[in-house]
Amino acid sequence: MKQKIAFALLMGSITTGIISFTLISINIGFTQRFLSIWLRSWATSYAVVIPCILLIGPKVQAFVNKIFPEELLAEKK
């Protein structure tokens, strides 16, 4: 369980940082307020995405395992 939480925290940080940076730079450009707007956007998206990863992630993993059961069996060998 600790690994899943650590993964969610790290993956959430990386993905929200990249996505928020990209979208802010496209939508407003590199203005004087870019850094503060980006950091605020990043913090907000991070706060939203972590619970989503922790709540939705196991269901998505179960769905993927159902679609590709042979891969799951190969990992157990």
- CA dist 68 and 77 (Å) reads 15
- CA dist 77 and 75 (Å) reads 6
Return the pLDDT at 48: 94
- Which has the closest alpha carbon to 18: 38, 34, 48? 38
Cα–Cα distance list, 76 to 45, 65, 71 (Å): 35, 13, 9
Taking only the tens place, the pLDDT of each residue in 17-64 is: 999 999 999 999 999 999 999 999 999 999 999 999 889 988 998 998
Average pLDDT score over residue span 52-77? 81
pLDDT of 77 over the 70 cut: no
Return the pLDDT at 28: 94
pLDDT of 73 over the 70 cut: no
Return the pLDDT at 27: 95
